[in-house]
Structure 1
Amino acid sequence: MSTLLLALAAGAVIGLALGALGGGGSVLAVPALIYLLGFTPAAATTASLVIVTATSATALYTHATSGNVRWRTGALFAAAGIPPAIATATLSARVPEAVLTAAFAVIAALAALAMFRPPATERQPRPARPARAAGAGAGLGAATGFLGVGGGFLAVPALVSVLGLRMRTAVGTSLLIITVNSLAALTARAGTHTPLHWAVIAPFTGAAILGAWDGKRLASKISGPALQRTFAAVLLAVAALMLADALR
């Protein structure tokens, strides 16, 4: 299969996951870029930030038109993540590839295990503790910058548990945070001279954006918990393969 077709197919699958699950799908972008399209771990995490930024911004628009974004809350949460995102994005280019692959495998495994859990219980919004909110935002920014993941699987639970947002609002607000953090990390990586293979990234991103729209329709036809568990199982298997590869 040609590189273009592989990029389109991988992008479509990841977009479907993003659209159907509302978060976590982008974590498959890095292994797809490494094992299907021949990217190095450093190049894959940078390319993933391009894909995550574009798809998150598109999804953010759709959620904003539905009134599901808490702009002020999201901006404050994202602000705490910008410095760590920039710092870890710069650090990532200097880390050995095996270490980067192993770290990504661990995060992917944690994301998969989180998806096996029942959804968090919605509660009434409440004033957040600034220290907890800042800590959660900083942690998400660090993961985004270092590993090139969107972090929806981390942001949504944090917004529900730390800020008490309802699930729909948490998903919409997380997209604002992910877009800002990914853009900050991508800007920091612009000075690392990591190559961006646009002939692959552009079709991959386009297919992911289109797939996300179809993912919403897929979610309405398949049981949400069943879909989430299936994706979690695939992600856990990918994480195990990546960890084995890093430890060889």
Structure 2
Amino acid sequence: MNTLAAAALGLVIGAVLGALGGGGAILTVPALVYLLGETAQEATTSSLVIVGVTAIAGMAGHARSSRVRWGTGAVFGGVGVLAAFAGSIANRHVEQHVLLLGFAALMIAAAVGMLIQSRRGEEPALDDPVDTAPVTGTDLRRPGAAGLVKVVVAGVAVGFLTGFLGVGGGFLIVPALVLAIGMPMPAAVGTSLLVIAVNSAASLVARTGSSHYDWAVITPFTLAAIIASLAGKRAADRLPPTATTRGFAALILVVAAFIAVHTLAG
């Protein structure tokens, strides 16, 4: 039964991933906890596998369009590797209610960021479903000291969040790449998937020997998410991006409120 439920949830979240980019992954942990009965620690571990594999699948498409900057992504991800290890270690030593309240806070921050961005009339931060043209030439300006600091801080923050909460952190990666080093949005989106994959892998390595993997849930969830993300991306071309982003932000706020109330009441 859990296998079928996992596949169904994977389809839903995969469709969101395709329509809005990596931001949809933020719903993975709540789905695993409240709909599939995993503990917070188990859910964050499962989410790392689901998010990491889905990021690799998405990155392949971007790579074919030359929208992945391998060197930049490796450096950004490398900065966060130690932080991902630290986050994974911290994950093992906190109570479930602390993890869930932290996750609710993260969801609220992500939703607020999406709403602010939608008011500026920009595309969803974590994906660019319209622009499929390859990015050619150099994509970096010379970052000053402030730009380098932003990249390092963002890399460390993303790494820790990936390890601690099992999220990809694309809502931090893309703005950092665009604002700090002048990378075009299509390349930033593709490169962010590389960073997510690196941090997810590092976090999983840090959990080796201390985590339980429910493959009957993880496998169908991941496969369904990858398949549905393709359909979701096509559907996104027909939807107004601003309205879609605001609707998703509202959904995140509702889920965050549910998590907070349920955790505090429990």
Q: TM-score, normalised by structure 1?
A: 0.95
Q: Deviations over 1:195-216 (max 9, x none)?
A: 1111111100110110111111
Determine the structure 2 residue equivalent to 1:198.
215
d(CA) in 1 for partners of 2:86, 2:117: 33
Please, which runs of 5 or more residues in structure 2 have no aligned partner? Answer: 124-138
Aligned sequence identity (%): 48
d(CA) in 2 for partners of 1:118, 1:87: 30
1:134 aligns with 2:152: yes
d(CA) in 2 for partners of 1:48, 1:61: 20
**Amino acid across the alignment from 2:30:** P
Return the match for 2:171 from 124, 128, 153: 153
Give the 5 Å matches for 1:58-69: 58-69=57-68
Secondary structure in 1 aligned to 2:183? coil
Determine the structure 1 residue equivalent to 2:207.
189
Secondary structure in 1 aligned to 2:117? coil
Please, which runs of 5 or more residues in structure 1 have no aligned partner? Answer: none
1:97 aligns with 2:96: yes
- The Cα of 1:184 is off from its aligned counterpart by 0.4
**Amino acid across the alignment from 1:126:** R
- The Cα of 1:91 is off from its aligned counterpart by 1.4
Q: Deviations over 1:161-211 (max 9, x none)?
A: 11221111110010010000011001111232x211111111001101101
Determine the structure 2 residue equivalent to 1:209.
226
- The Cα of 1:65 is off from its aligned counterpart by 0.6
Alignment: residue pair count = 245
Secondary structure in 2 aligned to 1:221? coil
Q: Deviations over 1:74-121 (max 9, x none)?
A: 111111000000111121011100000000110011111111123677
**Does the CA-based 8 Å contact 2:13-2:25 persist in structure 1?**
yes
- The Cα of 1:132 is off from its aligned counterpart by 2.3
Give the 5 Å matches for 1:215-234: 215-234=232-251
Q: Deviations over 1:128-155 (max 9, x none)?
A: 2333211111111011110000111111
d(CA) in 2 for partners of 1:106, 1:149: 13
d(CA) in 1 for partners of 2:72, 2:20: 22
Return the match for 1:163 from 171, 178, 181: 181
Determine the structure 2 residue equivalent to 1:180.
198
- The Cα of 1:246 is off from its aligned counterpart by 2.1
d(CA) in 1 for partners of 2:61, 2:113: 25
- The Cα of 1:231 is off from its aligned counterpart by 1.0
d(CA) in 2 for partners of 1:126, 1:191: 43
Secondary structure in 1 aligned to 2:258? helix
d(CA) in 2 for partners of 1:5, 1:225: 33
Determine the structure 1 residue equivalent to 2:115.
116
Determine the structure 1 residue equivalent to 2:5.
6
Once structures 1 and 2 are overlaid, which stretch shifts more, 48-57 or 160-169?
A: 160-169
